[in-house]
Amino acid sequence: MELIKRPRRLRGGETIRRMVRETRMDKSSLIYPLFAIDGENIEEEIPSMEGQYRYSVDRLPYELERLSKAGVSSVMLFGIPEHKDEVGSQAYARDGIVQRALREARKQFPDLYYITDVCMCEYTSHGHCGVLCGHDVENDSTLELLSKTALSHVQAGADMVAPSDMMDGRVAAIRQILDKNGYKETPIMSYAVKYASAFYGPFRDAAGSAPSFGDRKSYQMDPHNSREGIKEAVMDVEEGADIIMVKPAMSYLDLVTRVKEATNVPVAAYSVSGEYAMVKAAAKMDWIDEERIMCEMAVSAYRAGAQIYLTYYAKELAKCMDEGRIG
C-alpha cells in the first residue's frame, strides 16, 4: 500500500499547531501611530478612523498610559500644527507641536520608545512634502528643512526619526546632521518604499495634510513598480538607514519579502489608515469578524517578512497576543 502523506498530523490540536507555527509575533514589535495637535483639552475622534483620536499635549499622557498598560512600548508621533506656512516652519520650531509633545511624553512616560515622523506635509500651507518651486517640490532645498526637523525632534527627546517625505538623499542628510551634533547612536527608520497610494485617504483627513493642488506622484512611488522599491531600499541602507519601512502594508507584502531578501536591516510594514478604515467600516456592517481580520492582516505582514508592524490596532493586537489568540 502506498504511503499516504498526512500534513494534518501537525494540525490536530491547538498545542501542536502553536508548537510548529512558522510565524511568531511579539508585542515589542508593535508601533502605534499617534496624532498630537495644537490646543488644550483636545481629544477628538477622527471621523474617518473610528476609535482614533487627535490629542492635545495635555491629553496625550492619558493615551500613553493606555498604551503602556496594554504592553505597547513604541509610538510614532505625528504633529498637527495650528499655523502652517509655505516652508512648514512649525516642523522644526523648538516649540512645535511634536517637540512639545515629546518633552511632555518623556517627562510622564520615560520608558516608552518615541519615534517621530519627519515630513513637511502636515506643516506646509500647500500640503506637499517639501519646498515648492512653482508647482514642483524642490528636492535639494527640502533636505535642509528635513534635517533641521529631525535634529529638533531628537533634541526634544525622540529615540528614533522616520523620514517619510521620499526626497532623494534625505537619509544621508539626516544622518550627517545627527552625527555632527553628537547623535551618532540615534537610529533612522526610513519610509524607503512608500507608494503613491489611495490607502492614505483617512490619514490626510486626520492630519489635515491633503495637497492643495496636484498629487504626490512625482516623489512617492508608482504602485506598478517593484524593482524601483528595492532600489530605494538599498540606496537608503547605503545612506545610513537602520530600518527600512514598506508602506502601505496589505497590498505591498511582496515588497516586504523582497526588501528583506535584498537588505540586511530590519524591515517594517505600516498598516495604513485606509486599511484600518476599511476593516472598521465592514465590521460596523457586520460583514466581517473585526478581530479575526485584524489578526490575519498582522500575521500576513509578519509572514511576508516584517519584523516591525505599525498599526492603529496595536492595543487590540497586544491584547490578542496576551490572551493567546495570536502570536
For residue 15, which phi and psi values (nearest 5 degrees)? -65, -50
Give the model's pLDDT for residue 204: 73
For the stretch 243-274, pLDDT in tens is 999 999 999 999 999 999 999 999 999 999 99
One-letter amino acid at 79 equals G
Mean pLDDT within 1-29: 88
Give the model's pLDDT for residue 1: 67
260 is an active site residue: no
Q: What share of the chain in percent tops pLDDT 90?
A: 83
Residue 286 CA: distances (Å) to CA of 168, 289, 314:
44, 7, 22
For the stretch 148-185, pLDDT in tens is 999 999 999 999 999 999 999 999 999 999 999 999 99
The pTM score is 0.95
Q: Which entry of 27, 84, 148, 194 is annotated as an active-site residue?
A: 194
For the stretch 199-212, pLDDT in tens is 998 887 776 667 76
Q: Which entry of 84, 148, 247, 315 is annotated as an active-site residue?
A: 247
Higher pLDDT residue, 134 or 8? 8
Mean pLDDT within 277-299: 98
Give the model's pLDDT for residue 127: 82
For the stretch 100-149, pLDDT in tens is 999 999 999 999 999 999 999 999 988 888 888 788 889 999 999 999 99
231 is an active site residue: no
